[in-house]
């Protein structure tokens, strides 16, 4: 019950930032020269993009993350917090530590994939993935010290 306020506030931030990111990313429909570089999901599902009707909604978030990264970053950070809080409340002991290490590896992998990003949004997400991965790693080490028979 004491985490209800944290969940509620984070979910409100997640919903608002998701809506604003989707709206900001809708500008991809007006920039056909960006379709080749940003419309990853549309190209994957439809092949060649011939008109703005072929743009998939997920590409709105990619476009917003590349060129207007504030709200996509809020969306990313709040979703990460919801995942971390859910892991903390649902898993106990060794499973919790293993899940924290898994999240650390996932964030490190995403950061490596974004390593040579040339947009401000890509660079922001690269650095934030490394920071969140380090945070999950430190949390896993801290949590493992409270569990008997777990050593590093």
The reply to whether 50 and 13 lie within a common domain is yes
The reply to whether 64 and 110 lie within a common domain is no
Domain enclosing residue 138, as ranges: 91-152
- Predicted confidence pLDDT, tens digits, the chain (152 residues): 788 899 999 999 999 999 999 999 998 888 888 888 888 888 888 788 888 888 888 889 988 988 889 999 999 999 999 988 888 888 877 788 888 899 999 999 999 988 888 888 889 999 999 999 999 899 888 877 766 555 55
The reply to whether 2 and 64 lie within a common domain is yes
The reply to whether 104 and 40 lie within a common domain is no
Tell me how many domains the chain contains.
2
Q: How many other CB atoms sit within 10 Å of the CB of residue 48?
A: 9
To 10 degrees, the CA torsion angle through 75, 21, 73, 121? 150
Of 69, 71, 131, 62, residue with least CA distance to 103: 131
Residue 129 makes CB contacts below 8 A (sequence gap 6+) with: 107, 108, 110, 111, 114
């Amino acid at each position: 019950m004491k985490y209800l306020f944290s969940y509620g506030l984070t979910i409100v931030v997640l919903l608002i930032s998701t809506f604003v990111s989707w709206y900001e990313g809708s500008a991809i429909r007006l920039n056909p020269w960006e379709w080749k570089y940003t419309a990853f999901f549309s190209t994957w599902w439809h092949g060649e993009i011939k008109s703005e009707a072929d743009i998939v909604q997920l590409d709105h978030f990619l476009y917003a993350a590349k060129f207007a990264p504030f709200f996509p970053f809020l969306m990313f950070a709040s979703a990460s917090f919801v995942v971390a809080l859910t892991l903390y409340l649902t898993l106990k002991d060794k499973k919790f530590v293993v899940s924290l290490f898994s999240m650390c590896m996932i964030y490190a992998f995403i950061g490596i994939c974004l390593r040579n990003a040339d947009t401000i949004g890509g660079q922001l997400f690269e650095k934030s993935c490394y920071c969140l991965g380090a945070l999950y790693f430190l949390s896993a080490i801290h949590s493992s010290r409270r569990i008997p028979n777990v050593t590093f």
